[in-house]
Amino acid sequence: MNYLLQGIKDLEGKNNMAAIKRFFEKRKIDIKFKKLGEGNKLTAEDAKLAEEVKKANVSDKKPAKSEPASRMAAQAALSRHSHPKPGSSLGTSHKSIELQVRREMEAERRSLEARSKVEERKEIKLDKPTVIEQALFTCPIIGPEILPREEILEKIKEFLYQQLGDEPQITSAMMIYTLNKNSEKVKLCVETICKYIDNIIDNPTEEKYRKIRLGNKAFQERVICIEGADTFLQSVGFETRYLPGPSGSEEEFYVIPAELAEDRDHMRSTKDVLLGAEPIKPELDRSMKIFHSSPHAHQMSIPPDFYAISPEEIKREQQRLTENAEKLGVLRTKEMRERDRIRELRRYRYICIRIRLPDGIILQGTFRAIEKMSDIVDFLKLNMACSWLPFQLLVPPKNSSLDLEGNSTLAELGLAPAALLTMKVETDLLKDLQASNQPLVRPDVMALITELKWNP
């Protein structure tokens, strides 16, 4: 590809960041041209997803039983507070303490029950229709595919390996950031490679800085264990050679030729590429669905991958809460409650949001739990025929209005793992739209509308 060759030329000069940007920009242009050549592919894929939606299944869930240990802990706490020591100030506020303990223990019971339901949802067989089968992802840099997370990650990996022949340095640098999950190990690897390069820049004629013993423990633990690191070193110019090691016997080394080591511009350029590279990340697909008005709009079955914890983690958490309740048997402090609140927020990865429009039509999208109301607003405007239309979003049970420009995450707003919002528009504006036959939703989106089915 011409733009890949141009990228190499940029690396040889001082425009390394421009080369990385060009890598992404030209790739996006290629993708756009492919889409134009293949016709209106996105609409076809949306229609295909709409068909797949009808085949998804979810099972009935029985309410979880309350934990006996939790009840015993509550009774023990009440018993202790029912018999204060003589002269204790607790006696004067016994009733208020008793009520507060009951409320705390009841909240704990409901929390445990909710976690049990999450565990059930992960272990049961899906046999009831659902509108959400799993979270789907896309990655514009590699193509238009919409796939489950593990599959899109595999596609990204395939793409990077395919690019190695044309763009070994940029690609291998991106591989380091993209294909390794442990960010701390990636950081250590990058720092170590940069140290190798700095030593060569500062001491270009020193032979000891031009070679790396592959059997070196630090090299094994910090560099070679990171996917893409060895390829990057080779792109810098390091070659494999067998040389006498510390013991005198021959060992395998990475050695950079003297002429490359003395080319400071080349060495600085490679360091800039490594430091300037970024990971290729999959993007959560909104998995937009549109439904006719339905009394079942509030009923949603959420797939297991919407939750951030495994069944084993749920069991451990239940055990921890039970033990804490038994040990303490007292009012939780504000700090303890805040800690539990933060822990609860971390339970969710994704959130299903449904928005009931003024005409009863329901729009559905998938969001990350850490996204904000502004992301829901953008989603709405993208699918509306009148993106300029001012509106409010109301949340049950009191139909309170949400702050559309607030900084709180969707999880912090209590919308996880699923929520039904109501879009409110001024009556006069709606009448004006109706009088001018102006639809609320884009025609191409309306073409995907289906019935919302729910089997209780």
| CA-derived radius of gyration, the chain | 29
Residue of 342 and 7 predicted with greater confidence: 342
Q: In what order do the strands lie in the sheet with 362-368?
A: 289-291, 362-368, 350-356, 418-424, 392-395, 400-401
| Strands 136-139 and 283-284, sheet pairing | antiparallel
Instruction: Please give the C-alpha separations between residue 438 and each of 18, 369, 403, in angstroms, as whole numbers.
Output: 45, 33, 27
Tell me the average pLDDT across 302-325: 67
Please give the pLDDT value at position 299.
Answer: 85
Higher per-residue pLDDT: 27 or 271: 271
The CATH number of the structural domain formed by 287-296+349-446 is: 3.10.20.90
Least-confidence region, from 51-60, 132-141, 281-290: 51-60
For the domain spanning 151-276, the CATH number is 1.20.58.2190
Mean predicted confidence (pLDDT) in 357-386: 95
Q: What is the mean pLDDT of residues 191-207?
A: 96
Identical topology for domains 151-276 and 287-296+349-446: no
Percent of the chain whose pLDDT exceeds 70? 62
Residue 86 in this model has a pLDDT that exceeds 50: no
Average pLDDT over residues 355-378: 95
Query: Which carries the bigger pLDDT value, residue 305 or residue 431?
Result: 431
Q: Which of 82-91, 406-415, 434-443 has the lowest mean pLDDT?
A: 82-91
Q: What average pLDDT does the chain have? A: 77
**What CA dihedral angle connects 21, 23, 26 and 30, to 10 degrees?**
-140
**Average pLDDT in the 15-40 region?**
55
Q: Residue 172 to residues 26, 87, 176, 225, 390: CA-CA distances in angstroms?
A: 18, 73, 6, 14, 47
Residue 21 is predicted with a pLDDT of: 56
Q: Tell me: the pLDDT tens digits for 215-253? A: 999 999 999 999 999 999 999 999 999 999 988 899 999
CA distance 436 to 428: 13
Q: Indicate the range of 18-22, 123-127, 223-227, 390-394 predicted with least confidence.
A: 123-127
**What pLDDT, on a 0 to 100 scale, did the predictor assign at position 130?**
47
Higher pLDDT, 112 or 406: 406
Angle at 385 between CA 381 and CA 386, to 5 degrees: 70
Is the pLDDT confidence value at 428 over 80? yes
**Predicted local confidence at residue 397, as pLDDT:** 87
Contacts of 298 (CB under 8 A, 6+ apart): 354, 396, 420
Question: Going edge to edge, which strands form the sheet with 250-255?
Answer: 211-213, 250-255, 239-244
Site of tokens 């029950």: 113
Q: Are 155 and 139 in contact (CB under 8 A)?
A: yes
The yes-or-no verdict on residue 163 having pLDDT over 60 is yes
For the chain, domain boundaries: 151-276, 287-296+349-446
Q: What is the pLDDT of residue 133?
A: 75
Locus of tokens 């993708």: 31
* CA dist 286 → 61, 134, 322, 342 (Å): 26, 11, 38, 25
Q: How confident is the model at residue 400 (pLDDT cuts 50, 70, 90)?
A: very high
Rounded CA-CA distance 67/324 in Å is 13
